[in-house]
Chains A and B, each alone.
Chain A
């Protein structure tokens, strides 16, 4: 039997790796990839809690479905913005897009 702690520790590690990617990478697409890793860690947690504690209820799986839809929407809009910025300013480095810098 696998205790729930194994899943939680793996998901926490995946979340932290994604956080590092989102914070440290220069390329805007790499930042989006880090965010995807974090969303996946959240999904592992949701499914683990659903399976181990609330497997008679559907709340957990509905949450996972909503997270899937949100991740798809997020990556579509994010990549569209990156492509658009690339067309206008010829860069995908997040540091170079400082037009709104105060």
Chain B
């Protein structure tokens, strides 16, 4: 029993430990720039979790989109707004314990609900179609019988967000 731990489980524990520890640091680091760097570590841990789920494509997308774009965007925003918030001041609201209670309650409730679910201890189906996953995903995303509507709606959402963020952040000369 003691030696019944596979390499996959070891990598899962490693990834989970990195994810949870850096996530705690993200919400508790007093300096915003440190929090952003811990966010990068968290996103990397999540990418490792994706890899243990044999979803290698999404691990790569996670690194490219989240770490490569979103985290860098957050770091830019922090650097642009640094002077205002003195790094040593209180970073949490006065009622932070209430937020802690709410978060702990959500966690307890989620785990309680999941434990009552009969499939809680499901083990994975054997992987059979991994080589064809990406081609079939690509075709399904643009096929009229597949997922072209969600695909196009996300494209429009991204375009609207692009235009909207440029318009919002445009410097006004008044």
Contact = CB atoms under 8 A, between A and B. Distances in A.
Interface string A39-58: 01001100110111101101
Contacts of B46: 14, 40, 43-44
Interface centre among A20, A55, A82 (most CB of B within 10 A): A20
B144 interface: no
**Majority secondary structure, B binding face:** helix
Contact of B16 (A10, A80, A86): A10
Interface in A3-50: 3-10, 12-21, 23-27, 29-30, 32-34, 36-37, 40, 43-44, 47-48, 50
Highest count of chain A CB atoms <10 Å: which of B36, B55, B80, B157: B55
Nearest to B104: A16
Contacts of A7: 49, 53
Among B20, B54, B154, the most chain A Cβ lie within 10 Å of the Cβ of B154
Contacts of A90: 84
A74 B95 CA distance: 27
A41 to B, nearest CB: 8
Interface in B120-156: 120-125, 127-129, 133, 136-137, 140-141, 146-147, 150-151, 154-155
Contact of A92 (B85, B120, B127): B85
Interface in B80-128: 80-81, 84-85, 90-93, 95-96, 98-100, 102-104, 106-107, 110-111, 114, 119-125, 127-128
A23 B99 contact: yes
Interface of A: 1-10, 12-21, 23-27, 29-30, 32-34, 36-37, 40, 43-44, 47-48, 50-53, 55-56, 58, 61-62, 64-66, 68-77, 79-84, 86-87, 90-93, 95
